Structures are given as structure tokens and as C-alpha cells.
Amino acid sequence: MNTELDNLVELIKEKIMANLDRKKDIKKIPIEGSGRHVHLSKEDMEKLFGENYKFTVLKELSQPGQVAYKERVRLIGPKGVIEGVVILGPAREKTQVELSLTDGRLLGVKGVLRESGKIENTPGIILSNGKNFIEIKEGVIVAKNHIHMNEEEAKELNVKDKDLVKIKVHSERPVIFEDVLIRVNKNFKLSMHIDYDEGNSCMLDKDSYGVIYE
């Protein structure tokens, strides 16, 4: 009888330790709150700041090769204005403005949820640097939350480019985000990007992280 009980106890211990080991192996995904920002095309950079203007790099971003410039622009919508919006580099093929839904309501611009770069049939807006103005006919989006990673990280997480996954955010107010887009590129570094509305919903802070939720 004691032998059976001892065996049961050992079995329970093994299961507990196996669960602990699995928890240790869980890949924690860093999460960054992405504030409103603008990606300018080379043509629009020159319209706003002049031909051959040299932008001043303020800081490098978490994704290799991506930077924030010191220069800022003003967004002018039908109902409001937002000052001091950061410009990210390098230049894109087409100008894109990324806002939260809250920003869109302030400006009077409809929030359209899109993957970055998918700007067809999205709202336009006016941009200014205080001296010059440009109006884009489309390009204002609410960026779909997504996770950057390289091929090795994708293999670790058992996902591939364009997959949609559930992510549980571990924070003071845990939240599960569904249909989070996986973006794989050899130049990427593991990081989930959510906008400030989403960040506020889960009380995102420096200790927060995400895991793939199954």
C-alpha cells in the first residue's frame, strides 16, 4: 500500500516538475507601445523640408536600421490638429501615417485597421512642418498589432510569416490579443508592437511581456 502511495507521490512530483520546466521554456515576447508617427516618402520629405535635406537622427529604434528623426510634423485633420508628430526613417516608397483610434477621433479621421504598407482606400490628411504643407490622399492607418522576428526566432516559436496568433499579455491587467500578425524578416528582432490605446488597455509597462496563447 505504501509502495503504491509512494509511486503516486513520485508521479505527481514528476508532473509538477515537467510543468515547471515547460514554463521556464516559454518564450517571452517583448512588447513595445508604438505612438503616433509618420513614414515619409523621399518625394514628400523634399516637399516638406527641401531637396537634399539631411535629417537629424534622434535615436535608433529596436528594429535594426530603423530610426527616429529629430524633425517633427503637424497633422491637420477635419476636426483637429496634432503637433510634434515624430518622423521615422528611412524613407518609404509611400507616405504612411500611423495613429491610434483616439488620435483619429481627435483629428476627425476615420480609423482604418491595416497591416503596415497596405494603404489602399485609406483616409488622407494634411501634414506640415510649419513652413510647408502637403496633402496625402490616402495613407492614414491604425496599424494592426504585430510581432517582428527573424527566421531563427520564428523557428523557436513554431510560427511563420503572415501567421495570425493569440498573444496573452502578462501585465497588471492581463489581456489576450487575437489575430496578431507574425512578420518574419532576417533583419528583424523579436518584439511585439501595439499602439497606445492597446497599451493602455493592458496597463503596459517595462515588465510586461507576451506569450503565444494556445
Spans of all domains in the chain: 27-32+145-212, 35-143
Grid cell digits, residue 33: 507601445
Alpha helices in 54-180 (DSSP H): 101-107, 151-157
From 173, 39, 186, 188, select the one nearest 116 (Cα to Cα): 39
pLDDT in tens, 201-210: 999 999 999 9
Cα-flanking dihedrals φ and ψ of residue 119, to 5°? -105, 5
Beta bridge partners of 31: 192
pLDDT in tens, 157-203: 999 999 999 999 999 999 999 999 999 999 999 999 999 999 999 99
For domain 27-32+145-212, the CATH architecture is Beta Barrel (2.40)
- Enter the pTM of the model: 0.85
Q: Cβ atoms within 10 A of the Cβ of 205, count?
A: 11
CA distances from 94 to 40, 54, 138, 158 (A): 7, 19, 10, 32
